[in-house]
């Protein structure tokens, strides 16, 4: 057996270079590159190895470890989990900065390879700079924080361990059911140690998406339940996108006369104006989708965990005869909510379910109900997003202007605060891939870095990042990265003077205005000049007073050649009242405030309508 002598870091990089992805009949590198912020713990070992392979595996410089991992996660999501990136950090704070991003990837089932530097495996110089010492267990380092937020975790304490660990890591990263973040903690001394690796270990390998079909018994059970349904509803989740099943879903809905609602991750599975598309479902849903959900006697949920926002904290489905089918590639998710599981790839599962249904179609009257609801909802969307002469525009009016400016291939990116709710209800997505929301973990600070990752996935598409002032202040550094890389973003900053979304939630729970809006915190609170700040990071930037000026700035931004930031002040109290459903936010049983006591009574009434165990 022929061998080649390499350091552990060199072997790791060479192995990553050898991995290929099959995408629509064409091969591409599985790893598009590595984001790296170097420090002690990765600069000497992995840094040297990355430099040697920089032509085949590009290394990108970011400004924040969490942000660079967000960009890598967004890149994977924009590529439908077919391609991915790796991220490497120094030990200590560089590594722990990435833990939040690992949680984002874990919750959203997205692949990213995290390579934090680690303390010396040999322990000769212990304790080293930035080392977190656990008094009773010297085998633990800061990188153990990644364990609960990694789908696969390992610490490479011998260079030959890569031979066993790397194939397992790649399996998780490319597996549709187990997909998620992988962490390989790399002690800095082991990165520099060499061993003789088999040459076959570095042979190119091409990864194509696995498309498992359904169990025949589960398939027949699901088909039988659908054939009995009089008021069936389909819910499309992110799994529809990752399986490339949008066309299969459209054909299924059209052929079987089925209305379709969309989760945050599923939005765009059908074009917004498709005759079967009810729009968003749940807490941030449309009146059309939520009304039908309350009556449905069967729900076919495709590629979704059915989180609390989609189910209105399990209060949305009111029909006592409801049957739930969960078509999901992950058995872990297919069994949730007491569902009838149908474990399969979304596309293949839909095709085989369609074949098993014979000539069955849902009653025409049910689809007529859906169409009536859709028409009424579309009128509400037009009203909510229409410009007005109010002193401060609403979030809905701002996103309406951006939506009108966006072309059919453009992408909107957002993550946290009140904007995702408005976008889920109101944004009109013409095709899959045009709506990129991180709402599984709802991580403030994802927006700009996520926009960078989306732009890296396809630089030919215009990327609109919608971000609140709170999220902007948490993480804005990747504006500078986008300028450095020549990857233009259009960043729209909605400045409502603080955390307007939580201010509204606080009020809805009967609470006093407290610690959310800057104006209420201190009379000395600074009013940040976001346009000047974005310009200082290298972007073109402008502040606009209203919707007409915003529309003109958007036209200018589309013509720009580098990242362009537009700042607009918005009303912190306004949110779209139409649509939506209850969300379980626990209200105190005891309070001296009358508003809290009133909210508690309403809370108890809502919880009594929640489905138990399903």
pLDDT at 296 over 60: yes
Mean pLDDT of 551-576: 96
Residues 95 and 203 in one domain: yes
Same-domain check for residues 417 and 542: yes
Whole-number pLDDT of residue 102: 98
pLDDT of residue 613: 58
Other residues' Cβ atoms within 10 Å of the Cβ of residue 51: 10
CATH code of the domain covering residue 366: 3.40.50.1220
pLDDT one-digit tens code per residue, 168-204:
999 999 999 999 999 999 999 999 999 999 999 999 9
- Domain with residue 433: its CATH number is 3.40.50.970
Asked if residue 320 and residue 237 are part of one domain, the reply reads: yes
Q: Is residue 474 part of a domain?
A: yes
Number of domains in the chain: 4
Q: Indicate whether 138 and 53 sit together in one domain.
A: yes
Query: Token match 């309350």: residue?
Result: 294
Residue range 391-400: mean pLDDT, rounded: 96
Please say if the pLDDT value at position 314 is more than 60: yes
Distance in angstroms (rounded) separating the CA atoms of residues 359 and 348: 19
How far is C-alpha 482 from the chain's CA centre?
20
Same domain, 92 and 61: yes
Q: Are residues 430 and 551 in the same domain?
A: yes
Q: Using one digit for the tens of pLDDT, what is the confidence trace for 322-376? A: 999 999 999 999 999 999 999 999 999 999 999 999 999 999 999 999 999 999 9
Residue % of the chain over a pLDDT of 90: 93
Question: In the chain, pLDDT over 70 holds for what percent of residues?
Answer: 100
Q: Is residue 510 part of a domain?
A: yes
Task: Please count the CA atoms within 13 angstroms of the CA of 604 that sit on its side-chain side.
Answer: 7
Give the model's pLDDT for residue 203. 98
Sorted by sequence, the CB contacts under 8 Å of residue 372 that are 6+ apart come out as none
200 is written with which tokens? 């076959």
Contact (Cβ atoms closer than 8 angstroms) between residue 330 and residue 177: yes
pTM comes to 0.97
Q: What is the pLDDT of residues 219-263, one digit of tens each?
A: 999 999 999 999 999 999 999 999 999 999 999 999 999 999 999
To which H or E segment does residue 249 belong?
helix 246-256
Report d(CA 297, CA 287) in Å as an integer.
Answer: 18
Confirm whether 519 is domain-assigned.
yes
- Identify whether 197 is part of a domain: yes
How far is Cα 421 from Cα 575, in angstroms, rounded to an integer? 9
In a domain, 381, yes or no: no
Asked if 141 and 277 sit in the same domain, the reply is no
Residues 329 and 411 in one domain: no
> What end-to-end distance do the CA atoms of the chain give, in Å?
56
Pair 465, 447: CB distance under 8 Å:
yes
Residue 131 structural domain: 3-207
Q: Are residues 496 and 526 in the same domain?
A: yes
Q: Are 357 and 392 found together in one domain?
A: no
Checking if the pLDDT of 612 tops 80, the result is no
Residue 191 lies in a domain: yes
Task: Select from 326, 357, 376 the last residue of a domain.
Answer: 376
Q: Is 261 inside a domain boundary?
A: yes
Q: Based on the domain organization, do 320 and 432 belong to the same domain?
A: no
- Token output for 186: 């790399």
What pLDDT digit, counting tens, does each position of 484-519 carry?
999 999 999 999 988 989 999 898 899 999 998 888
Pair 421, 503 in one domain: yes
Residue 54 reports pLDDT greater than 70: yes
- Strand order of the β-sheet with 411-414 is 435-437, 411-414, 463-468, 490-495, 564-569, 540-544
pLDDT at residue number 614: 54
Residue 223 falls within a domain, yes or no? yes
The whole-angstrom separation of Cα 499 and Cα 564 is: 24
């Amino acid at each position: 057996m022929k061998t080649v002598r390499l350091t552990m870091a060199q072997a790791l990089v060479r192995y990553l270079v050898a991995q290929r992805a099959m995408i629509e009949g064409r091969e591409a590198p599985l790893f598009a590159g590595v984001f790296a912020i170097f420090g002690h713990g990765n600069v000497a070992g992995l840094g040297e190895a990355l430099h040697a392979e920089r032509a085949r595996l590009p290394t990108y410089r970011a400004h924040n470890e969490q942000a660079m991992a967000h960009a890598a996660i967004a890149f994977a999501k924009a590529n439908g989990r077919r391609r991915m990136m790796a991220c490497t950090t120094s030990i200590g704070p560089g590594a722990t900065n990435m833990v939040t991003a690992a949680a984002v990837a874990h919750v959203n089932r997205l692949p990213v390879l995290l390579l934090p530097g680690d303390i010396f495996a040999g322990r000769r110089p212990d304790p080293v700079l930035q080392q977190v010492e656990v008094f009773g267990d010297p085998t633990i380092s800061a990188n153990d924080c990644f364990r609960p937020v990694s789908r696969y975790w390992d610490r490479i304490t011998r260079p030959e361990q890569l031979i066993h660990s790397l194939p397992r890591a790649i399996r998780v990263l490319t597996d549709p059911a187990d997909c998620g973040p992988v962490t390989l903690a790399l002690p800095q001394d082991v990165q520099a140690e060499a061993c003789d690796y088999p040459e076959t270990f570095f042979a190119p390998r091409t990864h194509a998406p696995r498309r498992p079909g359904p169990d025949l018994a589960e398939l027949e059970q699901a088909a039988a339940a659908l054939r009995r349904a009089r008021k069936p509803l389909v819910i499309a989740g992110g799994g529809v996108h990752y399986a490339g099943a949008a066309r299969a879903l459209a054909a299924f809905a059209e052929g079987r006369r089925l209305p379709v609602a969309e989760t945050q991750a599923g939005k765009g599975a059908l074009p917004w104006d498709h005759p079967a598309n009810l729009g968003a479902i749940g807490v941030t849903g449309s009146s059309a989708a939520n009304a039908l959900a309350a009556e449905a006697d069967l729900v076919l949920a495709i590629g979704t965990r059915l989180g609390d926002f989609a189910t209105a904290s399990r209060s949305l489905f009111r029909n006592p005869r409801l049957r739930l089918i969960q078509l999901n590639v992950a058995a872990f998710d297919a069994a949730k909510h007491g569902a009838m599981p149908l474990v399969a790839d979304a596309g293949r599962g839909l095709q085989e379910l369609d074949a098993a249904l014979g000539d069955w179609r849902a009653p025409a009257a049910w689809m007529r109900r859906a169409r009536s609801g859709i028409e009424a909802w579309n009128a509400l969307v037009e009203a909510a997003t229409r410009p007005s002469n109010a002193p401060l525009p609403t979030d809905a009016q701002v996103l309406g202007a951006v939506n009108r400016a966006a072309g059919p291939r453009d992408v909107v990116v957002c993550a946290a605060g009140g904007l995702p709710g408005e976008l889920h209800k109101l944004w009109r997505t013409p095709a899959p891939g045009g709506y990129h929301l991180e709402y599984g973990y709802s991580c403030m600070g994802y927006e700009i870095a996520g926009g960078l990752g989306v732009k890296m996935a396809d630089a030919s598409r215009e990327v609109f990042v919608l971000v609140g002032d709170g999220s902007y202040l948490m993480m804005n550094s990747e504006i500078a990265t986008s300028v450095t890389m020549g990857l233009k973003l259009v960043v729209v900053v909605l400045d409502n003077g603080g955390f307007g979304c939580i201010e509204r939630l606080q009020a809805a729970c009967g609470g006093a205005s407290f610690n959310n809006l800057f104006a209420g915190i201190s009379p000395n609170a600074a009013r940040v000049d976001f346009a000047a700040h974005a310009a200082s990071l290298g972007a073109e930037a402008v502040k606009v007073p209203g919707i007409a000026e915003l529309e003109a700035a958007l036209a200018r931004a589309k013509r720009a050649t580098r990242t362009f930031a537009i700042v607009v002040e918005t009303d912190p109290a306004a949110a779209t009242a139409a649509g939506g459903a209850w969300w379980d936010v626990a209200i105190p049983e005891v309070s001296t405030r009358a508003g809290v006591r009133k909210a508690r009574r309403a809370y108890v009434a809502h919880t009594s309508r929640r489905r138990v165990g399903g």
